[in-house]
Chains A and B, each alone.
Chain A
Amino acid sequence: MTTYTEDVDSRALQIAEAINERDATSIWGIHASMMCGQDGDAASALLAEKFGSIGDGAFARNAAGTFDVLAAMSVVCRWGDQLSRESLDHVRTVFTDGVLSRGNTENHWLMHYVGSLLAYERWPDAPVWWNGLTPAATHMEADRWLRGIIDRTARCGHHEYDSPQYHSWHLLPMAVLADHAKDADLRQQAAQAATLFTADMALEYSQGGWAGGHSREGYRENTWTVSGNLGVLQYLYFGGEPFDADRHSHPLGGIALTARWRPPEMVARIALDQSSLPHVVRKTKAPREIPRHADRAPRAVRKYTYLSKSFALGSTQLGIDPPAGPIDLVSWDLGWGGPKHSAKIVANHPYRSPLRFSAFLGGLPQSIRRGIAAPKPYLQWPDRLFGASPYERILQHEGAILVLYRIPEDDEAPYVNLYLPATAAWKDTGNGWLCADMNGTHFVGVRPIGTYRWDLIKEDDFIDGWLLRIDDRCAGVAVEAIEAADVEGGFDAFVSSRTGALDVANWPAQGRATMRTMSGARLEMDWPASGEAVRKIDDQPIDDEYDLYEAPSIAQAKLGDGRIIFEYDGERLELDFGIDAASPLMPMRCVG
Chain B
Amino acid sequence: MKAQGSAPDNESDECHRLVTEWDGDDWLAATQSGLWLGRPGGTWRGSGPYEHALNSLTSFADGIVAGADGGLWLIARGEPRWRQLHDEVLTLVEAASMTSDELQSLVVATGYGVHLPAVAAHDVLRWSNCSEALSAPSARFSTALHLLDSETWLVGTETGLFVCTEHGRRWSATSIAQVAVRALLSTDEGVWAGTDDGDIWFAADGLAWQHHACLAPTESAPTESVLSLATNHHGVLLAGTTGGIVVSDGNGWRSTGPTLPMAAVAVDGRTPSTWVAGAAPGGLWWTEDGDAWQQAAEAPKTIRHLLSPDQVQ
Q: B residues 1-52 with Cβ under 8 Å of A?
A: 1-6, 12-13, 16, 49-52
Interface flag for A295 (CB, 8 Å):
yes
Asked, given contacts A140-B121, A291-B111, A589-B112, whether A133 binds B83 with beta carbons under 8 Å apart, the answer is yes
Q: Across the interface, do A292 and B141 meet the contact criterion of CB distance under 8 Å?
A: yes
Interface flag for A53 (CB, 8 Å):
yes
Q: Across the interface, do A362 and B94 meet the contact criterion of CB distance under 8 Å?
A: yes
Of the listed stretches B129-137, B144-152, B184-192, B206-214, name the one at the interface; the rest are far from the partner chain: B129-137
Q: A residues 86-131 with Cβ under 8 Å of B?
A: 90, 93-94, 96-99, 101-104, 109, 113, 128, 130-131
Q: Across the interface, do A291 and B280 meet the contact criterion of CB distance under 8 Å?
A: no
Q: Digitize A576-589: 1 where CB-to-B-CB distance is under 8 Å, 0 elsewhere.
A: 00000000001101
Asked, given contacts A98-B4, A99-B49, A132-B84, whether A587 binds B124 with beta carbons under 8 Å apart, the answer is no
Chain B residues near A294 (CB-CB < 8 A): 136-138
Q: Digitize A78-92: 1 where CB-to-B-CB distance is under 8 Å, 0 elsewhere.
A: 000000000000100
Q: Across the interface, do B227 and A364 meet the contact criterion of CB distance under 8 Å?
A: yes
Q: Across the interface, do B136 and A291 meet the contact criterion of CB distance under 8 Å?
A: no
Q: How far is B194's CA from A44's CA once the two chains are assembled, in angstroms?
A: 56
Highest count of chain B CB atoms <10 Å: which of A56, A140, A587: A587
Interface flag for B225 (CB, 8 Å):
yes
Asked, given contacts A99-B51, A131-B84, A367-B280, whether A362 binds B111 with beta carbons under 8 Å apart, the answer is yes
Of the listed stretches A32-40, A141-149, A515-523, name the one at the interface; the rest are far from the partner chain: A141-149
Selected from A97, A128, A362, A370, the residue in CB contact (under 8 A) with B5 is A97
Chain A residues near B2 (CB-CB < 8 A): 53-54
Asked, given contacts A291-B112, A366-B242, A587-B89, whether A296 binds B6 with beta carbons under 8 Å apart, the answer is no
Chain B residues near A291 (CB-CB < 8 A): 92, 111-112, 137, 140-141
Q: Across the interface, do B137 and A290 meet the contact criterion of CB distance under 8 Å?
A: yes
Q: How far is B33's CA from A99's CA once the two chains are assembled, in angstroms?
A: 13
Interface flag for B290 (CB, 8 Å):
no
Interface flag for A425 (CB, 8 Å):
no
Q: A residues 510-531 with Cβ under 8 Å of B?
A: none
Q: Across the interface, do B1 and A55 meet the contact criterion of CB distance under 8 Å?
A: yes
Chain B at the A interface: mostly helix, strand, loop or mixed?
loop
Q: Across the interface, do A296 and B12 meet the contact criterion of CB distance under 8 Å?
A: no
Q: How far is B223's CA from A65's CA once the two chains are assembled, in angstroms?
A: 40
Interface flag for B255 (CB, 8 Å):
no
Q: Across the interface, do B83 and A590 meet the contact criterion of CB distance under 8 Å?
A: no
Q: Across the interface, do B70 and A293 meet the contact criterion of CB distance under 8 Å?
A: no
Q: How far is B53's CA from A174's CA once the two chains are assembled, in angstroms?
A: 29
Interface flag for B57 (CB, 8 Å):
no
Chain A residues near B87 (CB-CB < 8 A): 141, 144
Selected from A54, A128, A364, A586, the residue in CB contact (under 8 A) with B280 is A364
Q: Across the interface, do A133 and B138 meet the contact criterion of CB distance under 8 Å?
A: no
Q: How far is B87's CA from A133's CA once the two chains are assembled, in angstroms?
A: 11
Interface flag for B281 (CB, 8 Å):
yes
Q: Across the interface, do B1 and A54 meet the contact criterion of CB distance under 8 Å?
A: yes
Q: Across the interface, do A292 and B82 meet the contact criterion of CB distance under 8 Å?
A: no
Highest count of chain B CB atoms <10 Å: which of A90, A99, A128, A294: A99
Q: How far is B261's CA from A56's CA once the two chains are assembled, in angstroms?
A: 26
Q: Across the interface, do A145 and B92 meet the contact criterion of CB distance under 8 Å?
A: no
Q: Across the interface, do B158 and A52 meet the contact criterion of CB distance under 8 Å?
A: no
Interface size on A, residues (CB 8 A): 53
Interface flag for B277 (CB, 8 Å):
no
Closest residue on chain A to residue B67 by CB atoms: A362
Tell me how far the C-beta of A109 lies from the nearest C-beta in chain B, rounded to whole angstroms: 8
Chain B residues near A103 (CB-CB < 8 A): 70
Tell me how far the C-beta of B155 lies from the nearest C-beta in chain A, rounded to whole angstroms: 15
Q: How far is B129's CA from A131's CA once the two chains are assembled, in angstroms?
A: 23
Selected from A131, A141, A290, A367, the residue in CB contact (under 8 A) with B82 is A131
Closest residue on chain A to residue B180 by CB atoms: A365
Selected from B55, B122, B138, B227, the residue in CB contact (under 8 A) with A295 is B138
Asked, given contacts A131-B82, A291-B141, whether A98 binds B94 with beta carbons under 8 Å apart, the answer is no
Selected from A101, A132, A140, A589, the residue in CB contact (under 8 A) with B81 is A132
Interface flag for A371 (CB, 8 Å):
yes
Tell me how far the C-beta of B67 lies from the nearest C-beta in chain A, rounded to whole angstroms: 10
Chain A at the B interface: mostly helix, strand, loop or mixed?
loop
Q: Across the interface, do B138 and A90 meet the contact criterion of CB distance under 8 Å?
A: no
Q: Across the interface, do B158 and A292 meet the contact criterion of CB distance under 8 Å?
A: yes
Q: How far is B129's CA from A101's CA once the two chains are assembled, in angstroms?
A: 23
Q: Across the interface, do A90 and B88 meet the contact criterion of CB distance under 8 Å?
A: no
Closest residue on chain B to residue A590 by CB atoms: B91
Chain A residues near B123 (CB-CB < 8 A): 137
Q: Across the interface, do B124 and A141 meet the contact criterion of CB distance under 8 Å?
A: yes
Q: Across the interface, do A104 and B89 meet the contact criterion of CB distance under 8 Å?
A: no
Tell me how far the C-beta of A299 lies from the nearest C-beta in chain B, rounded to whole angstroms: 13
Chain B residues near A366 (CB-CB < 8 A): 196, 225, 242, 261
Chain B residues near A290 (CB-CB < 8 A): 137
Closest residue on chain A to residue B132 by CB atoms: A587
Q: How far is B196's CA from A292's CA once the two chains are assembled, in angstroms?
A: 15
Q: Across the interface, do B136 and A97 meet the contact criterion of CB distance under 8 Å?
A: no
Q: How far is B137's CA from A589's CA once the two chains are assembled, in angstroms?
A: 13
Selected from B81, B138, B227, the residue in CB contact (under 8 A) with A128 is B81
Selected from A61, A90, A589, the residue in CB contact (under 8 A) with B6 is A90
Closest residue on chain A to residue B80 by CB atoms: A97
Interface flag for B98 (CB, 8 Å):
no
Interface flag for A565 (CB, 8 Å):
no
Chain B residues near A365 (CB-CB < 8 A): 180
Closest residue on chain B to residue A94 by CB atoms: B5
Chain A residues near B6 (CB-CB < 8 A): 48, 52, 90, 93
Chain A residues near B84 (CB-CB < 8 A): 131-133
Tell me how far the C-beta of A235 lies from the nearest C-beta in chain B, rounded to whole angstroms: 33
Q: How far is B9's CA from A93's CA once the two chains are assembled, in angstroms?
A: 13
Selected from B50, B90, B135, the residue in CB contact (under 8 A) with A296 is B135
Q: How far is B121's CA from A134's CA once the two chains are assembled, in angstroms?
A: 11
Tell me how far the C-beta of B300 lies from the nearest C-beta in chain A, rounded to whole angstroms: 12
Q: Across the interface, do B70 and A104 meet the contact criterion of CB distance under 8 Å?
A: yes
Closest residue on chain A to residue B158 by CB atoms: A292
Interface flag for B74 (CB, 8 Å):
yes
Chain B residues near A102 (CB-CB < 8 A): 70-71
Q: How far is B123's CA from A367's CA once the two chains are assembled, in angstroms?
A: 38
Interface flag for B288 (CB, 8 Å):
no
Q: B residues 55-95 with Cβ under 8 Å of A?
A: 55, 69-71, 74, 81-84, 87-92, 94
Query: Would you give 14 A-B contacts (Cβ < 8 Å), ordered by A?
Result: A53-B1, A93-B5, A94-B5, A96-B5, A137-B123, A141-B87, A141-B88, A291-B92, A294-B137, A296-B135, A297-B137, A363-B280, A366-B261, A367-B280
For the complex with contacts A364-B182, A366-B261, 10 further pairs of A-B residues with Cβ separation under 8 Å are A99-B4, A103-B70, A133-B122, A140-B121, A291-B111, A292-B137, A292-B138, A296-B137, A364-B263, A364-B280
Could you tell me which B residues sit within 8 Å of A by CB distance?
1-6, 12-13, 16, 49-52, 55, 69-71, 74, 81-84, 87-92, 94, 111-112, 121-124, 129, 135-138, 140-141, 158, 180, 182, 196, 225, 227, 242, 261, 263, 280-281, 302
Closest A-B pairs by Cβ, 3 of them: A132-B83, A137-B122, A93-B5
